[in-house]
Chains A and B, each alone.
Chain A
Amino acid sequence: MPNRPMPEFPELDTQPFWDAAKRRELAYQTCSDCNEVVFYPRAHCTKCGSLDTTWHTSSGAGTVYTYSVVRQNRSPHFADLGAYAVAYVDLDEGFRMLTNVVGVDNPTTDVQVGMRVQVEFEDQEGGEYPIPVFRPA
């Protein structure tokens, strides 16, 4: 089982996102005043400054905006993974998140900019939060 580093708390902006992850939901916010999509999570709207935001659950469907394949990471959490793909994924609801693309034989050839992906929640050996990652849709 993977053993990724966990988010650390107390951290008030991201706590609701990770609480949702425990329920295997990918959460994001919109502004109740101007409808702007707010992500990463924050208590204010990043467009108009409103303090009134609403949480939603994403469909988890998105597109790879860009990616890289990490061949060398000295962190023990990733040392045993072999080459793995990090990516920015654009979710259909209009937010972009850093993530990994998993479930491919060879990340160098099997991950492409523009490919469609779907979220899944990956249980971890050493932490309480399942981590949202993506695999080809």
Chain B
Amino acid sequence: MANQRREAAIVGIHEWPKRVDKDVSSLQIKAASIHRALDDAGLQWSDVDALYDANDGEGGGGLGLSAYLNIRPTVIDTTQVGGSSYEFQAAHAMRDIAAGKANVAVLSYGSKAATQRIPIGTGGRGGGGSWQTNMEVPYGSTLISNYAMVAHRHMHEYGTTSEQLAEISVATRHHAMRNPEAVQAMKDLQFQGVQEISVADVLDSRMIADPLHLLECCMVSDGGGALVITSADVARGTKKPPVWLIGSGEATKYRTNDGDITVSAGAQSAPIAFGQAEVTPAEIDIAMIYDSFTITVAVCLEDLGFCKKGEVGDYVSGGRLRFDAEGGPALNTDGGGLSSNHPGMRGLFLLLESVRQLRGESTSQVPDAKLAVAHGNGGLLGGSHTGGTVILAAE
């Protein structure tokens, strides 16, 4: 780690506390979250010189959001690659700051997926007319069934079981029950039983798309947040210890005629990120991995190098992913998309909880946490998707 470069750091964060919130718009969530994240850092609205936005929802994007906020940035990035957009944007902010193009970068997200009752996982696929949709819309493959096809193939090739995948839901629920905002989220979204769950509870829950059960699927919530990334010079004067961005990697993957569906884009993005950071998966304390479904975490744990391809079933058994377990890493210590929030694109929250852990502010704090990985997966795990990996280090 001697030569590791520390040129950009996250210095301010805010997570929108409510998961069902009819009294706010998604743009208002973005603006208020930016205000609070800047306040968290001790920076001003007028300090912002770089704006990153996933071009989603009402009036977003570099064109609309700049005007709404009344910020005139010199760097504008509207990368939209699904749920991993924020890992990609953090990587770009690192690069832009290291190149001297910006000093104070802001990423924000706001969504009303719960209030607007958007059926993210169980809606039909979008309208036809493209080279891909024309080959897919007649078959009614929902988003959940696409991920489920990855699970079936993983089970076929490696003997992975639903019991093993359920360990991921059990660990994240354990963390959620320690997070008051996650507990309130589950109450507001009328979860049956806001309590710890067992492997048997997961297997007894309703099958949504074989082999994925209800308790293996993320919720659909409102939510959002913001984070502030600055240069090393600016970070020296902020209110809280900076959390350094020390590595990043980006990748895409998609259906091919002979592709292995059990391997995600993370197999490409993670080695690049770990290489740049000059650390190994064995050194990671906190694994914030996009838990759209249990299978997403399982595949990504393998692809990030925490265990070999095909061995994740044994790897996750015995409660290993809990924040208080030996052998780590601690998985999704905020409760994850499975049990805390999922407004459609969860990538921002992976970074926010990484920062809380590396500051010592998590509700499921790992003592002396030094290194975290945030890995976003956007799109369809069994189809076209993106993987964005970011490695973060405590001061």
Contacts and interface: CB of A to CB of B under 8 A. Distances in A.
A11 B130 contact: yes
A77 B140 contact: yes
B207 to A, nearest CB: 6
Helix, strand, loop or mixed for chain B's interface? loop
A18 B133 CA distance: 13
A10 to B, nearest CB: 8
Given A39-B257, A74-B123, A81-B140, A67 B152 contact: yes
Give chain B's interface residue range (CB within 8 Å of chain A).
35 or more
B46 interface: no
Give chain A's interface residue range (CB within 8 Å of chain B).
35 or more
B141 interface: yes
Contact of B209 (A42, A66, A69): A69
A6 B258 contact: no
A119 interface: no
B123 A66 contact: no
Nearest to B206: A71
Contacts of A105: none
Interface stretch (B82-90, B142-150, B160-168): B142-150
B122 A73 contact: yes
A18 B209 contact: no
Interface of B: 119, 122-124, 127-142, 144-146, 148-153, 156, 206-212, 255-259, 261, 382
17 contacts: A4-B138, A11-B129, A18-B134, A46-B256, A65-B153, A66-B150, A67-B152, A67-B210, A68-B146, A68-B209, A68-B210, A69-B210, A71-B209, A73-B140, A73-B142, A74-B123, A98-B136
Interface of A: 4-9, 11, 13-14, 17-18, 37, 39-42, 46, 65-75, 77-78, 81, 84, 86-88, 90, 94-100, 107-108, 113-114, 131, 133
